[in-house]
Amino acid sequence: MTRQVEMSPNDGDRRVLEAVRQQQGLETLDQAAEFVLRRHLRKGVGRLGMPRGPRPTGRR
Protein backbone atom coordinates (compact mmCIF):
# COMPACT_ATOMS: atom_id res chain seq x y z
CA MET A 1 0.00 0.00 0.00
CA THR A 2 1.43 3.37 -0.99
CA ARG A 3 0.70 6.51 0.97
CA GLN A 4 1.22 10.01 -0.31
CA VAL A 5 1.97 12.95 1.89
CA GLU A 6 1.68 16.53 0.77
CA MET A 7 4.54 18.68 1.95
CA SER A 8 5.15 22.38 1.65
CA PRO A 9 8.91 22.88 1.72
CA ASN A 10 10.24 26.24 2.83
CA ASP A 11 13.09 28.03 1.05
CA GLY A 12 15.76 26.18 3.03
CA ASP A 13 14.18 22.82 2.21
CA ARG A 14 14.02 23.74 -1.48
CA ARG A 15 17.72 24.66 -1.50
CA VAL A 16 18.65 21.32 0.06
CA LEU A 17 16.37 19.37 -2.27
CA GLU A 18 17.76 21.24 -5.27
CA ALA A 19 21.30 20.34 -4.22
CA VAL A 20 20.28 16.68 -3.80
CA ARG A 21 18.51 16.75 -7.16
CA GLN A 22 21.61 18.04 -8.94
CA GLN A 23 23.99 15.74 -7.07
CA GLN A 24 21.93 12.62 -7.79
CA GLY A 25 20.97 13.59 -11.36
CA LEU A 26 17.25 13.62 -10.62
CA GLU A 27 14.64 15.48 -12.65
CA THR A 28 12.33 16.92 -10.00
CA LEU A 29 12.33 18.10 -6.39
CA ASP A 30 9.74 15.40 -5.66
CA GLN A 31 12.26 12.77 -6.74
CA ALA A 32 14.89 14.41 -4.54
CA ALA A 33 12.52 14.39 -1.55
CA GLU A 34 11.75 10.70 -2.14
CA PHE A 35 15.48 9.94 -2.39
CA VAL A 36 16.18 11.71 0.91
CA LEU A 37 13.27 9.97 2.63
CA ARG A 38 14.24 6.50 1.39
CA ARG A 39 17.86 7.02 2.40
CA HIS A 40 16.82 8.20 5.85
CA LEU A 41 14.57 5.16 6.28
CA ARG A 42 17.31 2.75 5.15
CA LYS A 43 19.81 4.23 7.57
CA GLY A 44 17.25 4.22 10.40
CA VAL A 45 16.31 0.58 9.83
CA GLY A 46 19.99 -0.35 9.73
CA ARG A 47 20.48 1.16 13.17
CA LEU A 48 17.73 -0.96 14.74
CA GLY A 49 20.01 -4.00 14.96
CA MET A 50 22.91 -2.13 16.57
CA PRO A 51 23.32 -2.40 20.33
CA ARG A 52 23.20 0.78 22.33
CA GLY A 53 25.60 1.87 25.00
CA PRO A 54 29.35 1.43 25.36
CA ARG A 55 31.04 -1.05 23.10
CA PRO A 56 34.19 -2.98 23.88
CA THR A 57 37.30 -1.97 21.98
CA GLY A 58 40.36 -3.96 21.08
CA ARG A 59 40.81 -7.71 21.15
CA ARG A 60 39.12 -10.09 23.52
Q: What is the pLDDT along the chain (60 residues), one digit of tens a residue?
A: 777 777 788 899 999 999 999 999 999 999 999 999 898 888 776 566 666 666 667 765
Q: What pLDDT is recorded for position 28?
A: 95
Q: Which of 36, 8, 4 has the alpha carbon at shortest distance from 23?
A: 36
Q: What pLDDT is recorded for position 46?
A: 59
Domain holding 25, by residue range, is 13-45
Q: What pLDDT is recorded for position 51?
A: 62
Contact 2, 12 (CB under 8 A): no
Q: Quick check: is 38 in a domain?
A: yes
Q: What pLDDT is recorded for position 22?
A: 97
Q: What is the 3-state secondary structure (H, E, C) of the chain?
A: CCCCCCCCCCHHHHHHHHHHHHHHCCCCHHHHHHHHHHHHHHHHHHHHCCCCCCCCCCCC
Q: What pLDDT is recorded for position 35?
A: 93
Q: How many separate domains does the chain show?
A: 1
Q: pTM to 2 decimals?
A: 0.61
Q: Quick check: is 29 in a domain?
A: yes
